[in-house]
């Protein structure tokens, strides 16, 4: 299956409606929210990424996955494990965007292949700045494989 990175730019996996809204507002404020899909749990994220269930037949992949760790149904580390263990999806950049500062979460995330681990700032302006920088880097500056 060829990876078409043009359809969905960001898959946001976030169960907290307040954090999801803040992230979307921050992306919108900097014109980085054209194609964002938001799912609220790890099971829905895996269905979306691997085109199963309600997303069966989809043939494109996100350019970036913003992944919370503490999720219902399937936690963020398991989503990360499955995405990074697949030959087809392991090249998709994943940024953990979470409130967890636990060393074991950080170590395990990097061991599983996360591209970046960011603790969500509490202050709104800092959060907006953080999301803006994430979007600019991963969507505009980063050069994914297979795209000269």
In order, the DSSP letters of 23-70 are HHHHHHHTT--TTEEEESSHHHHHHHHTT-GGGTT--B--SEEEE-SS
- The residue behind tokens 């989809």 is 58
Whether 98 is in a domain gets the answer yes
Whether 64 is in a domain gets the answer yes
How many domains would you assign to the chain? Answer: 1
Range of the domain at 67: 10-136
Whether 51 is in a domain gets the answer yes
Whether 148 is in a domain gets the answer no
The rounded distance, in Å, linking the Cα atoms of 100 and 33 is 25
Whether 143 is in a domain gets the answer no
Instruction: Determine the angle formed by the axes of helices 124-135 and 17-29, rounding to 10 degrees.
Output: 60
Whether 65 is in a domain gets the answer yes
Structure tokens at 117: 């681990």
DSSP character for 11? Answer: E
- pLDDT of 148 reads 30
Q: Are 18 and 120 in contact (CB under 8 A)?
A: no
Instruction: Give the predicted TM-score (pTM) of the model.
Output: 0.86
Structure tokens at 138: 């991963």
Whether 55 is in a domain gets the answer yes
Structure tokens at 45: 């994220």
Residue 130's CATH number: 3.40.50.2300
Whether 4 is in a domain gets the answer no
Structure tokens at 12: 């946001």
- pLDDT of 8 reads 52
Mean pLDDT by 10 residues, the chain (148 residues): 50 93 82 82 95 81 91 96 94 91 95 92 79 78 63
- pLDDT of 2 reads 37
């Amino acid at each position: 299956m060829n990876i078409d990175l043009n359809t969905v730019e960001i898959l946001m996996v976030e169960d907290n409606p307040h954090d999801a809204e803040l992230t979307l507002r921050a992306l919108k404020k900097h014109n980085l929210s054209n194609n964002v899909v938001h799912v609220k749990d790890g099971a829905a994220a895996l269905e979306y990424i691997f085109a199963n269930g309600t997303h069966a037949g989809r043939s494109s992949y996100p350019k970036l996955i913003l992944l919370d760790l503490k999720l219902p149904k399937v936690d963020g580390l398991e989503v990360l494990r499955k995405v990074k263990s697949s030959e087809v999806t392991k090249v998709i950049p994943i940024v953990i965007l979470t409130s967890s500062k636990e060393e074991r979460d950080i170590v395990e995330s990097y061991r599983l292949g996360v591209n970046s681990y960011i603790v969500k700032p509490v202050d709104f302006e800092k959060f907006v700045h953080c999301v803006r920088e994430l979007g600019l880097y991963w969507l505009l500056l980063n050069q994914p494989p297979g795209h000269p």
